[in-house]
Amino acid sequence: MTDAPAPLADPHLVYDPVAGDGPKDVVILGSTGSIGTQAIDLVLRNPGRFRVTALSANGGRVALLAEQAHRLRVRTVAVAREDVVRELREALTARYGAGEPLPEILAGPDAATQVAASDCHTVLNGITGSIGLAPTLAALEAGRTLALANKESLIVGGPLVKGLAKPGQIIPVDSEHAALFQALAAGTRADVRKLVVTASGGPFRGRTRQELAAVTVEDALAHPTWAMGPVITINSATLVNKGLEVIEAHLLYDIPFDRIEVVVHPQSYVHSMVEFTDGSTLAQATPPDMRGPIAIGLGWPERVPDAAPAFDWSKASTWEFFPLDNEAFPSVNLARHVGELAGTAPAVFNAANEECVEAFRTGALPFLGIIDTVTRVVEEHGTPAAGTSLTVPDVLEAETWARARARELTARTASAEARA
């Protein structure tokens, strides 16, 4: 184990691109999403620690983006949708005083990548989906500390990310990986026997595969613990999200897949655990609140006081743990298989899932059809050629094929159901 490659995320190593006094300059990608809005709340409560220099968003919530830019007094606002630039400029003008300079506006599909490489200390990548890959690579190449909440960019571009990242340059922001990151600080890599990733079980914990056949979009969006965006919430219902996290844990910590376990923990108090060779298990626990992991991503190696609520130990509570039902939720084992295939297989898995989730949301695919279709796309993709070097064009080509194939299979399913 000691001769394994160095992990991407190592709590013992601190990468500091801009050492010095004063608040850290931060760029927030995906500022109007769940991670972004909570990060901004954390920044506004800690003005002496953090200063946001740029924001990026897709463009679906222009009024909120303008409000964020004004409150944070950022230098640059980036928006992916060029058709909302006029609306954004008007919204900014309405908030800024007369004669007060407006922030620079960048627009287009590469806008987030541009601000990811801008002058700052830390880039928080809170974008959802594999479109976060280019900004992830840009931030690493520019030498920024990367607070990574966009797991998809690591999963689809693992070798590319690993080829660019310097020791300690990536700090994970997913609650599970922030938990592993903190627990791993208690020992050396040679001490680690197993990583235990916890899962809430989602809204359908305890149901059989047969009982999942008729669930609706509304059912899938009713997560019992976390308030997240619709794609991540549905991924949590299928447990695809947990499968992605298994791949992410393997890439971040260089622990083999057979030593990464998933355990269902409905309360979501324990965010993950590390089992050491002496039999000890260290668990990282907090009430469910993403501001804690965000604070680790932005502040490490320092902790941010009162970043998130703590437990009230004067009150009784029960913490439960259950084995994962792989028959009802086969997505985790499929993800392990995809991770072991490596190459473009993770990109195919992720892209096909994104298409199937959207099809489910629009009523074109039943709930069980999500993972069934993803499985078929992965099988048709086959085994990546051994020894080949992954490139960005490889990832994009694989994603394009996977999305097209998933849409074809979804259309067939919809047609068959219409005839039935």
Annotated binding site: 32-35, 150-152, 174-176, 200, 223, 229, 236, 241-242, 245
* 270 beta partners: 285
Binding residues for NADPH, by number, are 32-35, 150, 152, 229
C-alpha 282/C-alpha 292 separation (Å) is 18
- Are β-strands 270-276 and 50-57 bridged in parallel, bridged antiparallel, or unpaired? unpaired
C-alpha 283/C-alpha 272 separation (Å) is 6
**Cα of 290 vs its chain's centroid, Å:** 12
Do residues 336 and 78 lie in contact, with contact meaning Cβ atoms separated by under 8 Å?
no
C-alpha 64/C-alpha 197 separation (Å) is 34
- Are β-strands 270-276 and 192-199 bridged in parallel, bridged antiparallel, or unpaired? antiparallel
Binding residues for 1-deoxy-D-xylulose 5-phosphate, by number, are 151, 175-176, 200, 223, 236, 241-242, 245
Kindly provide the b/e burial profile for residues 16-52, where b requires at least 16 CB atoms within 10 angstroms of the residue's own CB.
Answer: eeeeeeeebbbbbbbbbbbbbbbbbebbeebeebbbb
Residue 227 is encoded by which pair of tokens? Answer: 């308030």
C-alpha 397/C-alpha 405 separation (Å) is 12
Residue 373 is encoded by which pair of tokens? Answer: 């279709």
Nearest to residue 41, comparing CAs of 311, 293, 288, 307?
Answer: 307
C-alpha 293/C-alpha 290 separation (Å) is 6
Binding residues for Mn(2+), by number, are 174, 176, 245
